[in-house]
Structure 1
Amino acid sequence: MQLFSTRPHILALSIGLALSACGGSSTEEPLVIPAAPADQGTAEVASLPSATAFVDTIATNQRGDARYATLATNAGVRILGGFLDVWKPLTEIVDAGVTAPAVDSFPAVVASTWTGVPNDGTPDGKVVNAAVHQANIDYVVKATANRTADQATQAYLDDRRGKGYSVTDGMGPLTSAWRTAAQQATSINGVAADATSVLYNDSGNNTGVAGSANASFGSVVDLVNLVGGNASTEPAKRFYKYARPYRWSSSVQVLPTLVPAKSSTPATDGGFTSGHSAEAARDAVAMAYAVPERFQEMLSRGLELGESRILAGMHSPLDVLSGRILGQASAAANLADPANAAKKAAAFMQAHATLMAATGTTADNFAAYAQSGTAANDRFADYATNKANYLRRSTYGFAPVAATNVAAAVPKGAEVLLETRQPYLSDAQRRVVLKTTALPSGYPVMDDAEGWGRLNLFAAADGYGAFNGNVTIVMDASKGGFNAVDRWRNDISGTGKLIKQGTGTLKLAGANSWTGGTELAAGTLQGDSAAAFGAGDVYVSGGTLVANAPAPLKVAGKYTQLSGSTTLELDLGAAGSQGSLAVATTATIAGGTLRVKFVNGYKPKAGDVLTVITAASLKGKFTTIAVDGFANVTPNYSATTLTLTVGS
């Protein structure tokens, strides 16, 4: 590495400035340092909705009260109230004012108005939106007609196995270590030859061995179990009285191996909402909370199990979509409960200590190991596929039934879902992340008053979707994990300003367009895409700015680097174009360090000229230039370009 000093220039510049101030003359114009991007005022907030909070009323969602549940009395029923715009049960039409159990005849009313078999002559309810209802059933008809052999096997396993056991394969390279540590077991290890005529039930232990009986992992199992508190889907099933898809249409092809699992009592076997989907969603959330290094993969697995219910012919998309909503809300309510704070902390610490020991990793490489799977051994290894599937499974292609541009609400307590994934953010900031990454409005069932239906946790894990106002990020690398290094992959818009502080590293990889500018005060801010820093100025007053884009890193406004402990690191590849810096207006270099590294196998030869910075106007010079692997480097500053000629 060559350390090339330009201190004589800085000294001359200082003398020139002094002479100018005293009325003397100088051959150089004084270097004018631009101001930092203007502050945008206050930070954006995501206010609490005025609606009754699910997290405050989850205790009303009691399985034992299922016969009497209403929107007014049950949080689990209320959160899914948007379904009444699609289908209205007869008891809701006729007996909406009846309060149970004070009215003795209410159970009889329920029994007399719900057979579970549509079109049998009994008026069980009323289809309110025929187009949505028909699309809901037609989706299952097509899905079951076109399912593959692999999908059939997965659908059978996801039906008959404990959901807690099933979703742990979302842990990828950590699956075996997790299941061993949890002491999980299943008796369903494949599809038996006689499964079409024999009902096989899982005699395993689902989530594993909990509590003190499992010294090394019991707290983690406790966490998975606690998110199921007051999370029953039975009240919603009994209230909405919406039949399973194969009872709506004989064209739905129930998986032959699951025919023995079909209920013989339709009146107690509602389809809306899906219990399997809700349980999978909340188990996946709990596991993602304990091991956020697999956050998006676990969430993807939770929604995948829901889709298996459609492929099996057992549930419709709206059944499954609503299961996601209720499952994630139930998990959040239990995680947000102050009584569970110590349990959450114990589970997080125990999960990491045990899994690191089992995999031979440390805090420095555990995240990399968790993401080391390939398509051959981890079906969630491909980020783009997971992202596309998560979005598809969030809406199932329904056409919007209302305006799609209504501002998102963020439910009370929902921020807890990002607590371990983005530990360097405040609760208020996590709420804004959820707000700026929410799904569009207008989809069936999803527009609940609190905002649970529109949460997009996959996108939220990739950071803000927009900067509105000041966004100040403080990362403490000494705390490890995501406090030390994180990457945001969303395409960030907005008019706000990003301010990076603290010792950690934040990587930006989206096609960003925010206009308020970027100020790096400490730590590392890395651009992994050409438009990583949006459409504003970039101002480096401290820390290290890294250009690691597969093309020149663009600064749409001004680039300013102050003297002192500032570094611009260029990770060059592809014959020097990858990782260079391209400034649309003025680049002002008041000192600091330029560090050049070579990546992806690229290495120039002696005598090569590297173009490292281009600008409409280039002013000033670096104090120090360091180039990996070369003892002699000659900088060549022009009015618009900095090139480096590398020697031996």
Structure 2
Amino acid sequence: MLFQSPARRPLSTFVALCTLLALGACGSGDELQSSAVVAPAPPADPGFVDSASIPPVPAFVDNAASNQRNDAHFATLDTNAGVRVVARFLDLWQPSTMIVDARASAPAVDGFPAVVASTCSGLVNSGTACGTILNAAVLSQNTQFVVNETVARTQAQADAAYFDDRRNKGYSVTDGMGPLTGAWLGLTQQTTTITSIPANATTTLYNDAGNNTGVGRPANAAFGTVVDFVNAMSTNGSTEPAKRFYKYARPYRWSSSVVVAPTLVPAESATPATDGGFISGHTAEAMRDSMAMAYVVPQRFQEMMSRAMELGENRIVAGMHSPLDVTGGRMQGLAVVAANLYNPANASLKAAAYAQAQSALMAQTSTTSSTFNTFAHSGTTATDRFADYTANRSNYLRRMTFGFSQIEATDAAPVVPKGAELLLETRFPYLSADQRRVVLKTTELPSGYPVMDDAEGWGRLNMFAAADGYGAFNGNVVVSMDATQGGFNALDTWRNPISGAGKLTVQGTGTLRLAGANTFSGGSQIAGGTLEADSASALGTGDVYLGAGSLVVNARGVVSVVGKFTQLANTTLELNIGANGQGSMKVGAQTTVLGGTLHVKFVDGFKPKAGDTITVISGNGSNVKFSAVSVDGFKATPVYASSGVQVHLDS
């Protein structure tokens, strides 16, 4: 029921109401808000906008074409971008020099030109035949990690490792789509021949004769553009140049204590000199395919990133790769996709693939742009292995470092590679390219971890955290959303704990939800659209200024406004109130309300009754007066006091 405050209320009438309700600390509306009250100023503009400069080094996205499989034996740091992106491995290991044998009569090896590599021949049992150990502690830990995982491996883990090894990676990662998996498989027409583990898998090698990513154009008109896009994102993605350059052995050649999964023993190469462990090709391919799928279906962005990282760890569980192998594969995989997104030749393909994926999957699932994201997360842990957000986040972070300690400076400045912002292009369509770079900058890992401090910044990128929005507000952050475009343009949630001294300004018509334990101090200004507080500290530690649009409080606790709260006319403050003050607002400094609407809902089973008085705002509120107050399910009267605002449920 809507309560319209009269322009002027006789003092006697207000006093009578206070007496009737037996509520202390009431004052007259004229005393609480006079026409002379001046609204406080909005939070101060910090005067600058944060940025993430492009590192002054050769960019992978500009040189990706140098990473060619046929040039693997000739690859160097200077000539091959795929080798260069993981160059910090040279802090730990110095590969031997290989001499190219250019004789035309020399037989090719594994499809490559013949080489003479006298220092890189035979088994690498000692770990020294193909190079020199520079950091024994890290490399020993690298191998011991594999020993520990393979010795403790369960049968279920061994089976998962087998499937991720023998299946085509494009098919293998598809279950990261969760509730969309069936629709995705049907539309792509993906197939695999590895549907079970044969009884003789311990002695016979089985290869997947399926079609990997599916059927492209023109045979697949309904989804072929998407399939073509996924395939295009692996262009220039060979890991062979890095393997041949670094010449670092697989873990089971470093230690006999590594227990290769029995079903994968037939997959062991008989030619160690051409079977490098660093970097992991399976991991790189899984990251490329998963990142491409996340681009066209950003509703499953974090789940697809989690699936890629899981496949990487399964390479360790299998005994086939080490943590540093997997780290290198992750880094190169991300760089390859960014380079292909950056390539102007793919501009129309990526736009068409995104549009086709969204429309076709919505049609298959009978959803719309406003319900598709909900459906994409409608599974349970019994039906969607990636339904547990907290577990996904924890596992992703663990798999980024695999327990390695930082071995160098931990406070180096963040570094964001050129073109990396394109990886978030569909996840944050309402942010600019510069803003997406800042998202990557403020969510990346600290410096100092082995291999990950590459000059461009691929190693420290935390794509899971980046998909949860900014990690810090440094300077002025303006977010403008357009609800008419649907999807994340209409509604998005940032779950990171946001720090910094910057200010957030929300504009447009969409809804931005803040759900982290935030400490940013520059304040929040709503100048259009809706800002929703989904955690008790969502609004940080600054002022909150509701000048246009709406502020929604939807937290599982009392939401704190540490500074001032100001609400102007023609705005709405919506409070979703539960038991024990849930969803109410506590203001630490001055509360000023010069009109606007207060809308109160009761949620989570909270059922007050007529006659109850509910505190909705607490704090210093000497200048508070809403133009309208509505409480769902009740006729209600606002009660203004210097200590805040209550609503009395009349009937």
TM-score (structure 2 length as normaliser) = 0.94
Q: Following the alignment from structure 1 to structure 2, what is the Cα–Cα distance between the partners of residues 440 and 282?
A: 24
Matches within 5 A, 1:315-330: 315-330=321-336
1:338 is displaced (CA, Å) by: 1.3
Change (3 A) 1:10 1:185: farther
Q: Which residue of 1 aligns with 2:7?
A: 8
Determine if the alignment matches structure 1 residue 586 to structure 2 residue 585: no
Q: Which residue of 2 aligns with 1:417?
A: 423
Match of 2:413 among 398, 407, 413: 407
For the 8 Å contact 1:211–1:222, the answer to whether it is kept is yes
Q: Which residue of 1 aligns with 2:612?
A: 608
For the 8 Å contact 2:526–2:549, the answer to whether it is kept is yes
1:120 is displaced (CA, Å) by: 5.8
Q: Which residue of 1 aligns with 2:579?
A: 574
User: Which 10-residue stretch deviates more, 146-155 or 381-390?
Assistant: 146-155
Q: Following the alignment from structure 2 to structure 1, what is the Cα–Cα distance between the partners of residues 598 and 392?
A: 38
Matches within 5 A, 1:416-455: 416-455=422-461
Q: Which residue of 1 aligns with 2:214?
A: 208
User: CA deviation digits over 1:166-219, x for unaligned, max 9?
Assistant: 001000000011001000000101111111111111111010001211011001
For the 8 Å contact 2:295–2:354, the answer to whether it is kept is yes
Letter in 1 for 2:476: N
1:335 is displaced (CA, Å) by: 1.1
1:284 is displaced (CA, Å) by: 0.4
SS at the partner of 1:522? strand
Determine if the alignment matches structure 1 residue 156 to structure 2 residue 165: no
1:403 is displaced (CA, Å) by: 0.9
1:613 is displaced (CA, Å) by: 0.4
For the 8 Å contact 2:101–2:116, the answer to whether it is kept is no
SS at the partner of 1:441? coil
Determine if the alignment matches structure 1 residue 645 to structure 2 residue 648: yes
Q: Which residue of 2 aligns with 1:266?
A: 272
Q: Which residue of 2 aligns with 1:506?
A: 512
Determine if the alignment matches structure 1 residue 170 to structure 2 residue 176: yes
1:590 is displaced (CA, Å) by: 0.5
Letter in 1 for 2:6: R
1:299 is displaced (CA, Å) by: 0.3
For the 8 Å contact 2:406–2:449, the answer to whether it is kept is yes
Matches within 5 A, 1:8-87: 8-9=7-8, 30-87=36-93
Change (3 A) 1:619 1:121: closer
Q: Which residue of 2 aligns with 1:221?
A: 227
Q: Which residue of 1 aligns with 2:121?
A: 115
Matches within 5 A, 1:214-613: 214-563=220-569, 565-575=570-580, 577-613=581-617
Q: Which residue of 2 aligns with 1:22?
A: none
SS at the partner of 1:432? helix
Q: Following the alignment from structure 1 to structure 2, what is the Cα–Cα distance between the partners of residues 284 and 122?
A: 35
Change (3 A) 1:27 1:165: closer
1:123 is displaced (CA, Å) by: 3.7
Letter in 1 for 2:575: L
Q: Which residue of 1 aligns with 2:136?
A: 130
How many residues of Structure 1 are paired with residues of Structure 2 in the alignment?
626
SS at the partner of 1:136? helix
Letter in 2 for 1:4: F
User: CA deviation digits over 1:427-475, x for unaligned, max 9?
Assistant: 0000000000011100000000000001001000100000011000000
Change (3 A) 1:107 1:87: farther
1:7 is displaced (CA, Å) by: 3.5
Letter in 2 for 1:180: G
User: CA deviation digits over 1:126-185, x for unaligned, max 9?
Assistant: 000000000000000000000111111110000000000000100000001100100000
SS at the partner of 1:453? coil
SS at the partner of 1:568? strand
Q: Following the alignment from structure 1 to structure 2, what is the Cα–Cα distance between the partners of residues 141 and 371?
A: 36
Q: Following the alignment from structure 2 to structure 1, what is the Cα–Cα distance between the partners of residues 301 and 90?
A: 33
1:363 is displaced (CA, Å) by: 1.6
1:647 is displaced (CA, Å) by: 2.0
User: Which 10-residue stretch deviates more, 48-57 or 333-342?
Assistant: 333-342
Q: Following the alignment from structure 1 to structure 2, what is the Cα–Cα distance between the partners of residues 69 and 38?
A: 53
Q: Following the alignment from structure 1 to structure 2, what is the Cα–Cα distance between the partners of residues 155 and 203?
A: 18
Give percent identity, aligned residues only. 61
For the 8 Å contact 1:181–1:216, the answer to whether it is kept is yes
Change (3 A) 1:194 1:493: same
1:325 is displaced (CA, Å) by: 0.2
Change (3 A) 1:362 1:122: closer
Change (3 A) 1:349 1:102: farther
Determine if the alignment matches structure 1 residue 622 to structure 2 residue 626: yes
User: CA deviation digits over 1:78-119, x for unaligned, max 9?
Assistant: 00100001111111xxx7xx8997999997765222126224
Q: Following the alignment from structure 2 to structure 1, what is the Cα–Cα distance between the partners of residues 353 and 122?
A: 42
Q: Following the alignment from structure 1 to structure 2, what is the Cα–Cα distance between the partners of residues 294 and 122?
A: 43
TM-score (structure 1 length as normaliser) = 0.94
1:573 is displaced (CA, Å) by: 1.1
Q: Following the alignment from structure 1 to structure 2, what is the Cα–Cα distance between the partners of residues 516 and 417?
A: 28
Structure 2's unaligned 5+ residue stretches are 12-29, 107-111
Change (3 A) 1:552 1:27: closer
Change (3 A) 1:562 1:237: same
Change (3 A) 1:204 1:107: closer
Q: Following the alignment from structure 1 to structure 2, what is the Cα–Cα distance between the partners of residues 49 and 101?
A: 37
For the 8 Å contact 2:124–2:272, the answer to whether it is kept is no
Q: Following the alignment from structure 1 to structure 2, what is the Cα–Cα distance between the partners of residues 122 and 221?
A: 43
SS at the partner of 2:560? strand
Change (3 A) 1:371 1:85: same
SS at the partner of 2:218? helix
Letter in 1 for 2:344: P
Change (3 A) 1:102 1:76: farther
User: Which 10-residue stretch deviates more, 98-107 or 229-238?
Assistant: 98-107
Q: Following the alignment from structure 2 to structure 1, what is the Cα–Cα distance between the partners of residues 51 and 479?
A: 15
1:604 is displaced (CA, Å) by: 1.2
Letter in 2 for 1:446: M
1:318 is displaced (CA, Å) by: 0.3
1:599 is displaced (CA, Å) by: 1.4
SS at the partner of 2:215? coil
